[in-house]
Structure 1
Amino acid sequence: MAPNINHQDTVFGGSVSAVAILSTWTLLHVRLGSECAGGQIVIYRNTMLYDRPITTGFTAIASMPDADAWARLLKTLNRKKMARISVPSVLICEGHQVGALEGEFVVLPE
């Protein structure tokens, strides 16, 4: 974490956001791969909430979108069209939620 610590001895907000985006992107990548539904995943936009300063190691936990949203994504990709989906992630530090991200992704068909 040392390169990501600011003058307040907390993690830079940009570093936190990058880790949260990476958690959501990775979840999409793995899930699409497991369903043999490839595509190029690109972050379109995100909203990051910072609930508390992060002073030690933290974890980003991404969650799958609801089943209907996932089914729409797959159906759109199967038609060889660009699809969009939102994926949430929460950040946990010392047992407390310290932030949350809502990432909206575009998936371009192969």
Structure 2
Amino acid sequence: MSPSELEKYLHDHIPISKAMEVGVVQVQPEAVILSAPLAPNINHRDTVFGGSASAVAILAAWSLLHTRLSGEGIASRLVIQRNTMSYELPIDGTFTAEAAIANTEAWEQFLRMLKRRGKARITITSVLNFGGKVAGRFEGEFVALGATVAQPIIPPDVAR
């Protein structure tokens, strides 16, 4: 999935991402990076509202799972079950959230469980960056529900 495809998906299916002017900087199997400007996410102190920072961190983590599962041909409902967010520095401009899977073994276990039981959970981390410094850290537990694996389409003349 390209950055522009993911951005369109987010804006079409998660409307708050459009209102927050979330952009997709990078989509890779190992990481997704989102960005957001200050103006639509500002608080009374002229810095990024904590809820906006948290929302972008969650969106980055969710997007990483969404793109990885799509790449595996697996459709499922992704929901966040719990999370923690720490704020380390004020943000007074455009910032990014970079999501990664904390443990690559966990991804393989997550996939096995999802394929076997149709439900699995995994922990994803996101780091908020601003001005070359870490401004916040997110850790969230996500659950994938109702997984279906896409079946290859076999043309009728080959299926016989």
Judge same fold: TM > 0.5, yes or no: yes
Unaligned runs of 5+ in 1: none
State the match for 1:34 in structure 2.
71
State the match for 1:79 in structure 2.
116
Is 2:98 aligned against 1:61?
Answer: yes
Deviation at 1:62, TM superposition (A): 0.4
CA distance in 1, matches of 2:124, 2:55: 14
Deviation at 1:2, TM superposition (A): 1.6
Is the contact between residue 51 and residue 97 of structure 1 (CA under 8 Å) also seen in structure 2?
Answer: yes
After TM superposition, the structure 1 stretch with the greater mean CA deviation from structure 2, 42-51 or 77-86, is 77-86
User: Does the residue aligned with 1:31 lie in a helix, a strand or coil?
Assistant: helix
CA distance in 2, matches of 1:59, 1:67: 23
After TM superposition, the structure 1 stretch with the greater mean CA deviation from structure 2, 10-19 or 77-86, is 77-86
State the AA in 2 paired with 1:36.
Answer: G
Task: Indicate the percent of aligned positions where both proteins have the same amino acid.
Answer: 53
Is 2:134 aligned against 1:97?
Answer: yes
Unaligned runs of 5+ in 2: 1-37, 148-160
State the AA in 1 paired with 2:114.
Answer: L
Larger Rg: 2
State the AA in 2 paired with 1:79.
Answer: R
After the TM superposition, which parts of structure 1 deviate over 2 Å for at least 4 consecutive aligned residues? none
State the match for 2:24 in structure 1.
none
Is 2:78 aligned against 1:24?
Answer: no
CA distance in 1, matches of 2:94, 2:53: 11
Q: TM-score, normalised by structure 1?
A: 0.94
